[in-house]
Amino acid sequence: MEPFAGGAIIGLTAAFEGLADRVLLVELDEQVASVWRALADGEAEWIANRIMTFKMTDESIAEELNKCRGSLREIAFRTLLRNRTSHGGIMAPGAGLIKHGENGKGITSRWYPHTLARRIRDIGRIRDKIEFVHGDGLKVIREHSEEPDTVFFIDPPYTAAGKKAGTRLYAHNELDHERLFTLAESLKGDFLMTYDNAEGVREMAVRHGFQTVAVAMKNTHHAEMDELLIGRDLGWAR
């Protein structure tokens, strides 16, 4: 289960690699949820074709993103387009579009239609393994807390300990982190959480009896930073 799914790279990997019989993805954001709902409804081929045939220009992007209505699959495509053309992939209110982009390619620098369409089709082929819930991740965690065979990957918005990244990146960024840690403590199944490597987060983990390991990573600007893994037993990560 991935209760704050977003792009759901961990849940999808578990499904593709056959590491789980069933993968449950949960997402509260309506735009992101539209993509998962459309894929669950069997719209992968339509979305992939739309990606491949879309003529990428400043004018066509503006026209598409200014639309307010449409079918579920049209909204899903629009969400993918915004993600691929917004600065840093940020879709929160106020996020701007790419200006210079990678290697000066501007608005097209993160638009790889063949790669993206192939990924969408691949997800469509394994959709029977995936269940999607448009809702509150904390609520769904609680509903599955008594299941010893459910493993949770928990990657919440990084807004604990005064951090601003989650506020900037996500439209739905308000989260009771103390409640999340309390829920994790009650889980019968195993879990892995990822957080900003902040003192307040480390203190919260200690209070709940969890282990932490800092791991190196790069952010969207390729700057090196540490991220915090949190779990009951992280011997494998040391």
| CATH code: domain of residue 223 | 3.40.50.150
For residue 209, the enclosing domain spans 136-237
Residues 151 and 211 in one domain: yes
Q: Does any domain span residue 179?
A: yes
**In a shared domain, residues 190 and 116:** no
Same domain, 155 and 214: yes
168-224 pLDDT per residue, tens: 444 545 789 999 999 999 999 999 999 999 999 999 999 999 999 999 987 655 667
The DSSP secondary structure of the chain, one letter per residue, reads -BSS-TT-HHHHHHHHTT--S-EEEEE--HHHHHHHHHHHTT-HHHHHHHHHH----HHHHHHHHT-----HHHHHHHHHHHHHHBGGG--STTPPBPSS-GGG-GGGTT--HHHHHHHHHHHHHTGGGEEEEES-HHHHHHHTTT-TT--EEE---S-GGG--HHHHH-SS----HHHHHHHHHH-SS-EEEEEE--HHHHHHHHHTT-EEEEEEEE-TT--EEEEEEEES--GGG-
77 and 142 inside one domain: no
Percent of the chain at pLDDT above 70?
Answer: 82
**pTM score of the predicted model:** 0.83
> Based on the domain organization, do 38 and 109 belong to the same domain?
yes
Q: Does the pLDDT at position 136 exceed 90?
A: yes
Q: Quick one: pLDDT at residue 173? A: 55
Identify the domain boundary among 127, 152, 181. Answer: 127
> For residue 115, is pLDDT > 60?
yes
